[in-house]
Protein backbone atom coordinates (compact mmCIF):
# COMPACT_ATOMS: atom_id res chain seq x y z
CA UNK A 1 0.00 0.00 0.00
CA UNK A 2 1.24 3.47 -0.80
CA UNK A 3 1.51 5.96 2.01
CA UNK A 4 -0.61 8.45 0.06
CA UNK A 5 -3.57 6.10 0.49
CA UNK A 6 -3.57 6.66 4.25
CA UNK A 7 -5.27 10.08 4.22
CA UNK A 8 -8.73 8.69 4.98
CA UNK A 9 -7.40 6.57 7.84
CA UNK A 10 -5.54 9.53 9.33
CA UNK A 11 -8.69 11.64 9.11
CA UNK A 12 -10.64 9.00 11.01
CA UNK A 13 -7.95 8.77 13.66
CA UNK A 14 -7.61 12.54 13.95
CA UNK A 15 -3.84 12.62 13.51
CA UNK A 16 -1.66 13.33 10.48
CA UNK A 17 1.80 11.83 10.76
CA UNK A 18 4.76 14.12 10.26
CA UNK A 19 7.09 11.13 10.14
CA UNK A 20 5.58 9.06 7.35
CA UNK A 21 7.96 6.18 7.96
CA UNK A 22 6.46 5.66 11.41
CA UNK A 23 3.00 5.35 9.90
CA UNK A 24 4.29 3.05 7.20
CA UNK A 25 5.94 0.82 9.79
CA UNK A 26 2.81 0.72 11.96
CA UNK A 27 0.87 -0.66 9.00
CA UNK A 28 3.46 -3.32 8.15
CA UNK A 29 2.93 -6.88 9.38
CA UNK A 30 5.93 -9.08 10.11
CA UNK A 31 5.02 -11.29 7.12
CA UNK A 32 5.83 -8.35 4.82
CA UNK A 33 9.34 -7.60 6.01
CA UNK A 34 11.84 -7.25 8.82
CA UNK A 35 10.94 -3.61 9.50
CA UNK A 36 7.47 -4.30 10.84
CA UNK A 37 5.07 -3.08 13.53
CA UNK A 38 5.86 -5.48 16.39
CA UNK A 39 7.92 -3.01 18.44
CA UNK A 40 5.37 -0.26 17.86
CA UNK A 41 2.65 -2.64 19.02
CA UNK A 42 4.54 -3.15 22.29
CA UNK A 43 4.74 0.61 22.79
CA UNK A 44 1.12 1.19 21.75
CA UNK A 45 -0.14 -1.38 24.22
CA UNK A 46 1.45 0.58 27.06
CA UNK A 47 0.11 3.89 25.76
CA UNK A 48 -3.40 2.47 25.40
CA UNK A 49 -3.47 1.06 28.91
CA UNK A 50 -2.20 4.35 30.31
CA UNK A 51 -4.76 6.51 28.49
CA UNK A 52 -7.70 4.19 29.22
CA UNK A 53 -6.61 4.09 32.86
CA UNK A 54 -6.57 7.89 32.96
CA UNK A 55 -10.01 8.14 31.30
CA UNK A 56 -11.52 5.68 33.78
CA UNK A 57 -9.81 7.40 36.72
CA UNK A 58 -11.36 10.70 35.71
CA UNK A 59 -14.75 9.29 34.69
CA UNK A 60 -15.33 7.24 37.86
CA UNK A 61 -13.76 9.07 40.84
CA UNK A 62 -15.56 6.90 43.39
CA UNK A 63 -14.51 3.51 42.05
CA UNK A 64 -11.77 1.46 43.78
CA UNK A 65 -8.62 0.28 42.06
CA UNK A 66 -9.83 -3.29 41.59
CA UNK A 67 -12.98 -2.29 39.76
CA UNK A 68 -11.11 0.23 37.61
CA UNK A 69 -8.69 -2.53 36.62
CA UNK A 70 -11.57 -4.79 35.60
CA UNK A 71 -13.20 -2.00 33.62
CA UNK A 72 -9.96 -1.39 31.78
CA UNK A 73 -9.55 -5.10 31.03
CA UNK A 74 -13.02 -5.14 29.51
CA UNK A 75 -12.05 -2.27 27.19
CA UNK A 76 -8.47 -3.19 26.32
CA UNK A 77 -8.82 -6.63 24.78
CA UNK A 78 -8.59 -8.19 21.36
CA UNK A 79 -12.35 -8.24 20.77
CA UNK A 80 -12.75 -4.51 21.34
CA UNK A 81 -9.61 -3.60 19.43
CA UNK A 82 -10.70 -5.78 16.53
CA UNK A 83 -14.15 -4.19 16.46
CA UNK A 84 -12.65 -0.69 16.38
CA UNK A 85 -10.07 -1.65 13.75
CA UNK A 86 -12.78 -3.21 11.57
CA UNK A 87 -14.83 -0.03 11.90
CA UNK A 88 -11.82 1.92 10.61
CA UNK A 89 -11.49 -0.50 7.68
CA UNK A 90 -7.92 -0.92 8.86
CA UNK A 91 -7.40 -4.20 7.04
CA UNK A 92 -7.23 -2.60 3.61
CA UNK A 93 -4.40 -0.32 4.77
CA UNK A 94 -2.13 -3.10 6.04
CA UNK A 95 0.96 -4.34 4.25
CA UNK A 96 0.97 -8.13 4.47
CA UNK A 97 3.09 -10.85 2.97
CA UNK A 98 1.58 -12.71 0.03
CA UNK A 99 0.81 -15.84 2.04
CA UNK A 100 -0.79 -13.91 4.90
CA UNK A 101 -2.82 -11.86 2.44
CA UNK A 102 -4.15 -14.93 0.64
CA UNK A 103 -5.09 -16.63 3.91
CA UNK A 104 -7.30 -13.73 5.01
CA UNK A 105 -4.84 -11.94 7.26
CA UNK A 106 -6.38 -8.55 6.51
CA UNK A 107 -9.50 -9.66 8.40
CA UNK A 108 -7.82 -11.68 11.16
CA UNK A 109 -8.79 -10.24 14.58
CA UNK A 110 -5.31 -10.62 16.11
CA UNK A 111 -3.60 -8.85 13.20
CA UNK A 112 -6.09 -5.99 13.20
CA UNK A 113 -5.92 -5.55 16.97
CA UNK A 114 -2.12 -5.54 16.92
CA UNK A 115 -2.04 -3.02 14.07
CA UNK A 116 -4.31 -0.64 15.96
CA UNK A 117 -1.97 -0.72 18.95
CA UNK A 118 0.95 -0.17 16.58
CA UNK A 119 -0.71 2.98 15.27
CA UNK A 120 -1.01 4.28 18.81
CA UNK A 121 2.67 3.62 19.40
CA UNK A 122 3.53 5.39 16.16
CA UNK A 123 1.33 8.37 17.06
CA UNK A 124 3.03 8.61 20.44
CA UNK A 125 6.47 8.77 18.83
CA UNK A 126 5.27 11.16 16.14
CA UNK A 127 3.25 13.64 18.19
CA UNK A 128 3.78 12.80 21.85
CA UNK A 129 1.35 11.69 24.52
CA UNK A 130 -1.31 14.26 23.62
CA UNK A 131 -1.51 12.96 20.04
CA UNK A 132 -1.92 9.36 21.18
CA UNK A 133 -4.39 10.35 23.85
CA UNK A 134 -6.51 12.21 21.29
CA UNK A 135 -6.76 9.11 19.13
CA UNK A 136 -7.69 6.88 22.07
CA UNK A 137 -10.33 9.32 23.29
CA UNK A 138 -11.84 9.47 19.81
CA UNK A 139 -11.96 5.69 19.46
CA UNK A 140 -12.92 4.69 23.01
CA UNK A 141 -14.70 7.76 24.40
CA UNK A 142 -18.24 6.57 23.65
CA UNK A 143 -17.47 3.16 25.14
CA UNK A 144 -16.12 4.73 28.34
CA UNK A 145 -19.16 7.01 28.63
CA UNK A 146 -21.49 4.04 28.20
CA UNK A 147 -19.98 2.08 31.11
CA UNK A 148 -22.12 1.41 34.15
CA UNK A 149 -19.73 0.17 36.87
CA UNK A 150 -22.59 -1.52 38.72
CA UNK A 151 -23.08 -3.85 35.77
CA UNK A 152 -19.45 -4.85 35.67
CA UNK A 153 -19.05 -8.49 34.65
CA UNK A 154 -22.22 -8.68 32.56
CA UNK A 155 -21.77 -9.21 28.86
CA UNK A 156 -23.08 -6.77 26.28
CA UNK A 157 -26.08 -8.88 25.23
CA UNK A 158 -27.24 -9.15 28.83
CA UNK A 159 -26.78 -5.44 29.46
CA UNK A 160 -28.68 -4.59 26.27
CA UNK A 161 -31.61 -6.78 27.28
CA UNK A 162 -31.65 -5.24 30.77
CA UNK A 163 -31.64 -1.76 29.19
CA UNK A 164 -34.62 -2.61 26.97
CA UNK A 165 -36.86 -4.47 29.44
CA UNK A 166 -37.73 -1.64 31.88
CA UNK A 167 -38.49 0.58 28.90
CA UNK A 168 -40.94 -2.05 27.60
CA UNK A 169 -39.08 -2.38 24.34
CA UNK A 170 -38.83 -5.61 22.38
CA UNK A 171 -35.91 -7.96 22.52
CA UNK A 172 -33.08 -7.37 20.06
CA UNK A 173 -32.78 -9.44 16.91
CA UNK A 174 -29.38 -10.77 15.87
CA UNK A 175 -28.96 -11.52 12.18
CA UNK A 176 -25.96 -13.18 10.56
CA UNK A 177 -25.39 -11.10 7.43
CA UNK A 178 -22.13 -12.49 6.10
CA UNK A 179 -19.43 -15.09 6.67
CA UNK A 180 -16.15 -14.22 4.99
CA UNK A 181 -12.72 -15.80 4.70
CA UNK A 182 -11.42 -19.34 4.56
CA UNK A 183 -12.63 -21.98 6.99
CA UNK A 184 -9.77 -21.58 9.48
CA UNK A 185 -9.85 -17.76 9.50
CA UNK A 186 -13.54 -16.97 9.02
CA UNK A 187 -14.98 -13.62 10.06
CA UNK A 188 -18.66 -13.49 11.00
CA UNK A 189 -20.69 -10.33 10.40
CA UNK A 190 -23.80 -9.85 12.53
CA UNK A 191 -26.41 -7.10 12.77
CA UNK A 192 -28.21 -6.25 16.01
CA UNK A 193 -31.66 -4.78 15.30
CA UNK A 194 -33.60 -2.99 18.02
CA UNK A 195 -36.91 -1.11 17.81
CA UNK A 196 -36.76 1.96 20.07
CA UNK A 197 -38.35 5.36 20.50
CA UNK A 198 -41.85 6.74 20.27
CA UNK A 199 -42.02 6.15 16.51
CA UNK A 200 -40.66 2.61 16.82
CA UNK A 201 -37.47 3.71 15.08
CA UNK A 202 -35.06 0.91 14.36
CA UNK A 203 -31.48 0.98 15.60
CA UNK A 204 -29.24 -1.29 13.54
CA UNK A 205 -25.62 -1.90 14.52
CA UNK A 206 -23.04 -4.38 13.32
CA UNK A 207 -20.32 -6.53 14.79
CA UNK A 208 -17.50 -8.67 13.41
CA UNK A 209 -15.66 -11.54 14.99
CA UNK A 210 -13.99 -14.93 14.57
CA UNK A 211 -17.25 -16.58 15.68
CA UNK A 212 -20.90 -15.63 15.78
CA UNK A 213 -20.97 -15.20 19.56
CA UNK A 214 -18.22 -12.59 19.52
CA UNK A 215 -19.83 -10.76 16.59
CA UNK A 216 -23.17 -10.63 18.43
CA UNK A 217 -21.51 -9.24 21.56
CA UNK A 218 -19.82 -6.50 19.51
CA UNK A 219 -23.08 -5.61 17.79
CA UNK A 220 -24.88 -5.47 21.15
CA UNK A 221 -22.21 -3.18 22.60
CA UNK A 222 -22.57 -0.87 19.62
CA UNK A 223 -26.36 -0.88 20.05
CA UNK A 224 -26.05 0.16 23.68
CA UNK A 225 -23.89 3.09 22.66
CA UNK A 226 -26.39 4.20 20.03
CA UNK A 227 -29.41 3.80 22.34
CA UNK A 228 -27.80 5.93 25.01
CA UNK A 229 -27.68 8.77 22.47
CA UNK A 230 -31.47 8.74 21.91
**Domains defined for the chain, CATH in brackets:** 3-149 (1.10.1520.10), 156-229 (3.30.160.20)
Among candidate residues 45, 126, 191, 221, the one labeled active-site is 45
CA angle 104, 187, 194 (to 5 degrees): 150
Min mean pLDDT across 56-65, 89-98, 129-138, 153-162 is at 153-162
Torsion of Cα atoms, 16 then 17 then 18 then 24, to 10°: -150
What is residue 28's DSSP assignment? Answer: B
Could you report the per-residue pLDDT of 23-45, keeping only the tens digit for each?
999 999 999 988 999 999 999 99
Could you report the per-residue pLDDT of 131-186, keeping only the tens digit for each?
999 999 999 998 898 887 776 667 889 889 988 988 888 899 999 999 987 767 78
Verify whether residue 45 is a known catalytic residue.
yes
Verify whether residue 89 is a known catalytic residue.
no
Contact 82, 207 (CB under 8 A): no
140 Cα distance to chain centroid: 8
pLDDT: is 6 or 183 the higher one? 6
Among candidate residues 79, 117, 191, 221, the one labeled active-site is 117
- Scanning the chain, the segments in alpha helix (DSSP H) are 7-13, 20-26, 38-59, 65-75, 78-87, 98-102, 109-145, 156-164, 212-229
pLDDT band at 195 (very low <50, low <70, confident <90, very high): confident
pLDDT band at 226 (very low <50, low <70, confident <90, very high): confident
pLDDT: is 45 or 102 the higher one? 45
Q: What is the pTM of this model?
A: 0.71
Closest to 93 measured CA to CA, from 122, 129, 54, 57: 122
Tell me, what's the pLDDT at 199? 65
Alpha-carbon distance of 6 to 16, in angstroms, equals 9
Amino acid sequence: MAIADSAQLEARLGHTWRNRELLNQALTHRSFGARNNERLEFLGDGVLNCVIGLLLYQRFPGQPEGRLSRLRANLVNQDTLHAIAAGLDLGRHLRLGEGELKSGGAQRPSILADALESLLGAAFLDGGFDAARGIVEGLFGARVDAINPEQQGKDAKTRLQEWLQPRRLGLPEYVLTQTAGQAHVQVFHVECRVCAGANNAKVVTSGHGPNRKTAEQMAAEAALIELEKL
